[in-house]
Structure 1
């Protein structure tokens, strides 16, 4: 697979909801927030589910930047 691959909000939406026009890209942000609450030691300082500003999100093993 592709570790640390960055996915755009649009890619994530297409993979999960298809062409449902009632779902917005901001929906992804809400799901990411909820996931961070469950998997991150400090959700406001994510190490596993990171935001790539202007692009989207990436999932890491938590060792990047340490």
Structure 2
């Protein structure tokens, strides 16, 4: 994930740069985990509804 350059005014002035970096990393990990969970849920839903694995999604990877 790219590190976007936000204006400094976006973040609370009471947060230190190290703390900001730590929280941004936590947020990035949470988003990555959520993305993976969505992919798994999509595959499971497809299997439950259609009774077969979605091979069209595997072919795109």
Q: TM-score, normalised by structure 2?
A: 0.31
Q: Which has the higher contact order (CA 8 A, sep 6+)?
A: 1
Structure 1 or 2, whichever has the larger Rg, is 2
Q: TM-score, normalised by structure 1?
A: 0.30
Which structure features the higher share of helix residues? 2
Which structure features the higher share of strand residues? 1
